[in-house]
Structure 1
Amino acid sequence: MASPQLSAPIQRSLAISTQSLTKRFDRRPVVSDVHLDIASGDVYGLIGPNGAGKTTLIRMLALIEEPTIGEIHFNGQRYDRHNTAEIKRYLGYLPDDFPLYDDLNVWDYLDYFARLYRLREPRRSRRLYEVLELVQLTHKHKAPISTLSRGMKQRLGLARTVLHEPMILLLDEPVSGLDPIARMQFREIIKTLQSAGMTILISSHVLSDLAELCTSIGMMELGYLVESASLQDLYARLSQQQILLSTLGSLDDLTRELKHSPFIQSVEPVSETQLKVAFSGNQEDSADLLRSLIQAGIPLTEFHCTQEDLETIFLKLGHQQAS
C-alpha cells in the first residue's frame, strides 16, 4: 500500500503586492523602496510615528498618489494608468479627513454616492439598507448628518466606502478622536467585513485596537517599511513573557526561590507583596515554576502570566532602528 501523501500548505493569493514602491516630493523621499505583501483576507495594521510615510503609502495604494517609481499589484494584476478605473472597483478608501455633507441626511448622502458608483435600482436601495445595517445607522437614515456624533459620522464614512462592495479596504486612522465605545463599535464592523472575506489595511496609533483586529503588522520609519510580519511571529520574536506574583510572605524568600529557575531573566518589585519577573520559558516551564514555589512553601496569592503588548513591541522596534 502506498504511503499517504501529505498535502502542501495552502498558499493564499496576494491581495496587495508592491515592489520598490517609492514616492518623492521635490526630490525629497517620503516613501522609499517599499516591498509589501498582504495576503487575501488579512487585516494588516500599519504603524509608525507621525511623518513615517503611512498616509502617502496608503494614498498610493488607493491610486490617489502616483508612485515616483515602483510597481503595485492588486490580486495579481499590475496597476498602470490605463487600468485605473478597473482596479478602483476593487478598492475602498477612507482617509482620516473625509468630508461629509452636513446639509444632507444619511440616506441621501449614501444614495448620492451609490449613484456615482452606478448602482441601479432595485440593487441601489437594497445595498443602502445593507450598509446602514452593517454600520448600525438604520435608525438614523433620515437624520441630518450635522446631528450625528463623531462616531456615527465615522461609521457613515465607512458605509460610503464599502457601498460598491470592494475587495480591498484601505483605512487611514479611522478611529482617530473616537471615544472607547465608538472605537469598539468600529472594531466590530471591521471584524464583520473581514469575516465576509475582505482584505483590510488599517493605519492607527491606537495599538490596542490593532492588536485585537490584525493578522499582520507593518512598521514604517522615515519612509521605509522596516518590519512586516504576522502578529503571531512578532509576538514570538519580540514579546517577552512576564509573570506577576503576589505572596503573603516575604518578598526576599520569593526572590530567593525564583533565582533557582534558569528561565528567570529579571525580577522587579511592584509593591510590598508583589513581584514582576521576565520569563523566557514556555507554558510547561511556567507550570514547573509554579509547582516548585508551592513545594517550597511560598504562600502565593497570585501567579499571572502575560506577554508584552504591541505597544511595547513597537517601542522595541523603534529602539532597534535608532541604534
Structure 2
Amino acid sequence: MTQELALATYGLTKQFERHLAVNDVELQVESGEVYGLIGPNGAGKTTLLRMLAAAEEPTTGEIYINGDRLLRDNSNPRLKQRLGYLPDDFPLYDDLTVWDYLDYFARLYCLKNAHRRRRLHEVLELVQLTSKRHSLISTLSRGMKQRLSLARTIIHEPILLLLDEPVSGLDPIARMQFREIIKILQAAGMTIIISSHVLSDLAELCSSVGIMELGCLVESCSLKELYQRLSHQQIIISTLGNLEVLEAELKNNLLVQGWEILPHQNTIKVNFSGNPEESSELLRSLVIAGIPLTEFHCTQEDLETIFLKLGHKQVS
C-alpha cells in the first residue's frame, strides 16, 4: 500500500525537551493530491512539514516518499532532490536579479546548462515573472517575491511540494495568482501539501485536509467526506413581510435547528437538518403560509466553520 502513496508517515513524533510538538502522526497522501494542513498556531504544522522536508530529525517514526524511506543521512540523496520545500520565512537576496537568483538555485540542484536555461524560462513563465527577469529582487512587490520563492522551490521539478503558509500577508489578487499556479502544478501531476490559515483558499484548492491540534492529527480525510460528515445545511431566507411571522412558521418545522437574523434587510440564516427534498417541502410550506419570500437558497457550512466547531470540541 505504501508504494501507491506519494507520502506516508508512521508514528511520526517530535519532542523538544519537555514539549511534544508532533505526536504519533499517521499521515497518508495519495499521488497528485493537494492536501491542506490546518490548525491553530502551535499545533505542530510547521514542525511536521520540516520533518517531511528532511530539515528536522524525527524523535521517532518513519517517513516514506513514493514508497522509499526518507532519512536525513546520505543514504538516499536522490529522494531529497525530489522534494520542494517553501518555509514561511525563507530569505530572498535583494541585491540579485530574479534571473540570477533562480540560476543560483538551479546550479545548486546541478541542473546542466541547456536544461537549466530552459527550466528558468519555464518557471518564470509559470509564475508570471518573465518581464521581471532582469529586475532586482528589492524592487518586487510582496506577491512577486512570494511567486519567485515558489519558482525557486520548483526549479528542480520536485514530485512532492511542501508549502508552509505561502499566502501569508498577501492581498486578494496576489492570493488568487498563487492559487492559479498551484492548480497548474497539480494538473501537471505534482503532489502538494500546503499549510495555511486562509481556509477559503484551501477549500478551493484541496482534495483532502488534515486538522492538527496540540501536535496530533485529529482529522485526515477527503474534503468531500469532511463536508458530508460535519457540514450542516443552511438556508438563507429573505422576506418582504414581518420577520416574526417567518420565525413563527419556522418553529413549526422539526428539521429547523435554529436560526440567526442577518444584518441584511429581513434575512434569516436557518440551520436545517433535512435533505434537499425536505428543504423543498419547507419552501412549499412557507409559500402556502402566504409569506412573501424574496430569497430561499441552500448552502453548506464552510471549512472555516467546521474547523472552528472541531476546535471547540477539542477544547471542551
The TM-score with structure 1 as length reference comes to 0.93
Aligned residue number for residue 200 of structure 1: 192
Aligned residue number for residue 79 of structure 1: 70
Q: Is the 8 A contact 1:104 1:144 kept in 2?
A: yes
1:22 corresponds to which letter in structure 2? T
Give a deviation string over 1:168-203, Cα, whole Å, max 9, x none.
000001011111111111011001101111110000
Alignment of 1:176-255 (within 5 A): 176-255=168-247
Aligned residue number for residue 62 of structure 1: 53
Residue 16 of structure 2 is aligned to residue 25 of structure 1: yes
State the distance in 2 between where 1:268 and 1:148 align.
Answer: 45
Of 289-298 and 239-248, deviating more is: 289-298
2:195 corresponds to which letter in structure 1? S
Aligned residue number for residue 297 of structure 1: 290
State the distance in 1 between where 2:120 and 2:271 align.
Answer: 52
Q: Is the 8 A contact 2:3 2:67 kept in 1?
A: no
State the distance in 2 between where 1:320 and 1:162 align.
Answer: 38
Say which of 159, 168, 173 aligns to 1:167. Answer: 159
1:293 corresponds to which letter in structure 2? L
Give a deviation string over 1:192-236, Cα, whole Å, max 9, x none.
101111110000111111111111111111111111111111111
Residue 113 of structure 2 is aligned to residue 121 of structure 1: yes
Give a deviation string over 1:89-139, Cα, whole Å, max 9, x none.
221000001111111100111111111111112111111000000000000
State the distance in 2 between where 1:265 and 1:83 align.
Answer: 58
Q: CA deviation at 1:72?
A: 0.3
Aligned residue number for residue 312 of structure 1: 305
Aligned residue number for residue 280 of structure 2: 287
State the distance in 2 between where 1:55 and 1:152 align.
Answer: 23
Of 288-297 and 201-210, deviating more is: 288-297
Q: What is the aligned-residue identity percentage?
A: 69
Give a deviation string over 1:258-288, Cα, whole Å, max 9, x none.
2333321113333562222101112222222
* Equivalences, count: 313
Q: CA deviation at 1:82?
A: 4.1
State the distance in 2 between where 1:28 and 1:279 align.
Answer: 42
Question: Structure 2: which 5+ runs fail to align?
Answer: none
State the distance in 2 between where 1:20 and 1:296 align.
Answer: 58
Q: Is the 8 A contact 2:85 2:153 kept in 1?
A: yes
Q: CA deviation at 1:292?
A: 2.4
After superposition, the CA RMSD in angstroms is 1.6
Give a deviation string over 1:46-94, Cα, whole Å, max 9, x none.
1111111111100000001011100001111122334341211221000
Residue 136 of structure 2 is aligned to residue 144 of structure 1: yes
Give a deviation string over 1:229-260, Cα, whole Å, max 9, x none.
11111111111111111111222322233233
Residue 147 of structure 2 is aligned to residue 134 of structure 1: no
Residue 39 of structure 2 is aligned to residue 39 of structure 1: no
Q: Is the 8 A contact 1:63 1:84 kept in 2?
A: no
State the distance in 1 between where 2:159 and 2:36 align.
Answer: 17
Aligned residue number for residue 268 of structure 1: 260
Q: Is the 8 A contact 2:3 2:66 kept in 1?
A: no
